[in-house]
A and B are shown apart, each in its own frame.
Chain A
Amino acid sequence: MTERTRASGRDLGTRLREGDLAAAPAALNLLESRTPDAREQAEALLAEVSPAALGHEPPAHVIGLTGPPGVGKSSLLSRLIREWRDRGRSVAVLAVDPSSRRSGGSLLGDRARIEIDPRDRQVFIRSTAAGERLGGLAPATRTAAQALAAAFDVVVIETVGVGQSETDIVDTADTVAVVLQPASGDVLQFLKAGIMEVPDVLVLTKSDLGSAAKRALADLHAALAALGAGATPVCAVSSVPPPTGIPALADALEAHHAGLDLSGHRLRARRRQALDEFVAEHGERGLRALGGRLEAQRWLERQDETLDASSLERSLEARTQESP
């Protein structure tokens, strides 16, 4: 008993590479699947969309959109998607569900809050499970982002959380935007205390709230200046009619992307990700077999720059088996 309409991984990868957006659902089914056969197919799929196969970095802008619950991420995303569509971009969203996996089952209700035109085939939304750690991404989400980046213009990973262990999203996204609302005092504290890294873009929602919004904006600017990060763009938006600030936010995200050494950024991220996943799988013992973290990092830096994270992780695994 397997998925009944499983196209081969290679085919799906090719279709994505050629911009066939309709291949996305089946590709994600495959990437989420844990059977040995599916994993083999998934590797074939990922190889097809790797920089090596593409001849360049996947052109999509991968954006991490994160923030505490209730700040209005979904409403914001609804508006952003409309803005991107107006600019002629195709958009894929991976909505990460924060629910605990202890019971096995989960309720995926996030997509309901993102308003889209259901007939628009250039917009794709998939709910996905969270990883083990708070704010972490499941391995399938990272590979899904890689695969979708070959076909869509914009890939958004929407997560709940802020500031604690968002390294996963930093490694997966080109641009990280943290979303807060007026009176999100805790986020400001995290920022000031250095618990949270300064994101690439800060978004303040509910800017229609008048004086509360103005005060929050002033506090944010002051905190950023104190951290020497005064240049970080802060975008105030309102999603209630009439929406405001959305085009400026889209511009700010784009400007960050344009200013990025994309291949360098993604290369470092892929290598970090490979090592993280290796450690998650094999623990400290595995790391010792590689001669320690530093040695492993140095070794990764010597590898082919176009290899995707999964291939790199497999090479690390192979290396532990070589060593005595």
Chain B
Amino acid sequence: MSQTPSPHLPEPDRPWMMRTYAGHSDAKRSNQLYRRNLEKGQTGLSIAFDLPTQTGYDPDHELARGEVGKVGVSIAHEGDMATLLDSIPLDQMNTSMTINATAAWLLALYIVAADAQGVQQEKLQGTTQNDILKEYLSRGTYAFPPGPSMRLIADTIAYTVQHIPKWNPINICSYHLQEAGATPVQEIAFTMGNAIAVLDAVKPRVPQELMGSVFGRISFFVNAGVRFVEEHAKLRAMAVLWDELGRDRYGVEDERHRRLRYGVQVNSLGLTEAQPENNVYRIALEALAVTLGRGARARAIQLPAWNEALGLPRPWDQQWSLRLQQILAYETDLLEYPDIFEGSKVMEGLVSELLAGARTEMQRVAQLGGAVDAVDYMKAALVESQRKRWQRIESGEQVVVGMNRFISTEASPLRAGADGGILVVDPEVEAEQRAAVERWRADRDPSAVDGALQELARIARDDTENVMPATIAAARAGVTTGEWAHTLREAFGEYRAPTGVTEAAAPASEEVSELRTEVERVSEALGRRLKLLVGKPGLDGHSNGAEQIAVRARDAGMDVVYEGIRLTPWQIATSAAQEGVHVVGLSILSGSHRELIPAVLDALREAGVEDVPVVVGGIIPDADADALREAGIAAVYTPKDWNLNGMMRDIIELVAEPPDASGTARSGEAGRRAGGGPEGLETAVGA
């Protein structure tokens, strides 16, 4: 008879790395925040960059308007990076950077800043997210076309494997796929497809004997939703597939190299604006999904804050989330046991179900030529999943407590403070940063900068060389983020990712059929079909909400002009004028609505579009909403307006009975009444 294995570990496990996704305004303010967070017991750093930094624009670029320092810190050059990391010993720190299109650049700045501290690159530990496919699919902060982007990723991997051995050069993200609506099966399959594309791109760029180390350095960044049992099974299924892939496709012999290593930020998608205090429970349950079973436990965790559907979290909100991790790790007995699901028939069954589905879906991606070529397919599949999910929520089939069920509530004291319960970035930051980058440019050696950029351009055009050394040299020469990215844009070209919003309309539910009848009636009277422009101004790439609006409007029978993300106010105004639309809908989740919405209104006026109603959706605090309505916005929608059909009815009504000619906007009560913003589909700060 065999002995029953002990239900206890000889020694409790060490806790996972605890981080908070943080950063805002400028390097100095963020540095202070990091040092405070580390004092509170946080064990690693997780840097949030602002959108201009993520997409490769300096603070004084036209597209950076309204976005500087909003969803993260603005880092324009190595001086900023040095300030950001001041007094944080980089030989001991483990730093995760949520940076993708410009990952090679920010890694170079980090290397140079460490060097200035006297820390050699060999000693550095941390992670660059560096995953471009999910940027095309969901998050939107891409800069270059797929081919050159994959090369940049392969170059950073090849470089770090040889020079910074403890660095995780890429964190392949399933996180944002779930935010975009992925089912667990899609999340697993698309992520594995993505990993294969990355590994295949690295293969010809490193010596064969290093492929084992390459495989071992690939880590994942996953999501965990509130269905935490299934979510845990999902991670176990990913571990199985990863092990198989390493063994069978890449011949990785060392078992340790084939272990799934992942960090996590739990779900933001399911966090609600309504009764936001409930989000704390959701976050706690989601944290269990990634910690309960030792067999597939996270290596690093960062938790969102209770108020992310309202706006940016304050330091106190983030502390509250950090404490949750600490209670889980230090108060509970979680870390004292071997894998508690081992031998569980239910867990085993769930895992094999997910594996079967994922294998089929992985095959489809492979048949399309791999994940890079399958971006269009995957994007359309995600938009479709999100559409179905939203329909289930609207019909009440999927319960969201406090939002579509158990709605009656007391006023929340958490929102009673003068700040409304969120962080507001000082609007002066942008002007300061613009001036600062101009000073930086004036103070450096121009010939060194020119030389570094010329060399970078040459390497960019020569696919056989690694772009990292020239990038590090550029960082040392004082090149700015915008200059680095501009040089590569010139060499690589620009790119617009597919919107995933397909032409064909979905079968209509009864309610959508009614909308169609209404659209027909109004279109008949107008003489041509009701035409809606859905626009996303600014650098915010969170397009899931805008896509669902476009899809629903199309299903309701409207002609929808949707051009994807990252549009200037002028582009939106020009489209509205040239396309002859009857109504304009704008979506912004990055908190830049106060700057960008008035800029769009000005551009519309200048383009001669005077009488077209404009509605806005986004993470917009009440005080800002009032100001927007005063500025002429016909209706403002926030995550608590989640009924899309209601929003469609509003839009039809706005066109049928336009606001009166005196120029005063309607109170927006029509918008508030029925509601209808799917902006709760995502939050501005989803890592």
Q: Residues on A close to B: CB < 8 A?
A: 1-5, 22, 24-26, 28-29, 32-35, 37-38, 97-100, 102-109, 111-113, 115, 118-119, 124-127, 129, 240-241
Contacts and interface: CB of A to CB of B under 8 A. Distances in A.
Given A29-B528, A33-B528, A99-B504, A105 B563 contact: no
Contacts of A127: 561, 579
B47 interface: no
Interface stretch (B218-226, B352-360, B568-576, B584-592): B568-576
A99 B574 CA distance: 23
A110 to B, nearest CB: 9
Nearest to B555: A105
Contacts of A105: 505, 516, 519, 529, 553-560
A19 B556 CA distance: 38
Interface in B268-288: none
B408 interface: no
Given A103-B505, A111-B563, A38 B527 contact: yes
Given A4-B658, A32-B527, A102-B505, 4 more contacts: A24-B578, A105-B556, A109-B561, A112-B496
Contacts of B145: 240
Contacts of A111: 561, 563, 575, 579
Contact of A103 (B490, B491, B494, B557): B557
Contacts of A118: 568, 570-571, 573-575
Contacts of B492: 241
Interface centre among B499, B555, B559, B610 (most CB of A within 10 A): B559
B528 A32 contact: yes
Interface centre among B503, B522, B558, B577 (most CB of A within 10 A): B503
Interface in B492-543: 492-494, 496, 499, 501-505, 508, 516, 519-520, 522, 525-529
B560 A107 contact: yes
Contact of A240 (B493, B564, B570, B608): B493
B580 interface: yes
Interface residues of B, number: 51
Given A107-B554, A111-B575, A113-B496, A99 B561 contact: no
A125 B578 contact: yes
Contacts of A35: 527
A2 B526 contact: yes
Interface string B33-46: 00000000000000
Nearest to A27: B580
A109 B380 CA distance: 14
A112 B564 contact: yes
17 contacts: A1-B522, A1-B526, A2-B525, A3-B526, A29-B580, A33-B526, A35-B527, A97-B503, A103-B504, A103-B557, A104-B505, A105-B529, A109-B499, A112-B496, A126-B580, A129-B559, A241-B490
A107 B520 contact: no
Nearest to A243: B493
B562 A109 contact: yes
A33 B523 CA distance: 10
B189 interface: no
Nearest to B603: A118
A1 to B, nearest CB: 4
Contacts of A26: 580
A109 B577 contact: no
Given A118-B574, A241-B493, A34 B503 contact: no
Contacts of A38: 527
A21 to B, nearest CB: 10
A127 B575 CA distance: 10
Contacts of A106: 503, 554, 559-560
B656 interface: yes
A25 B581 CA distance: 10
B465 interface: no
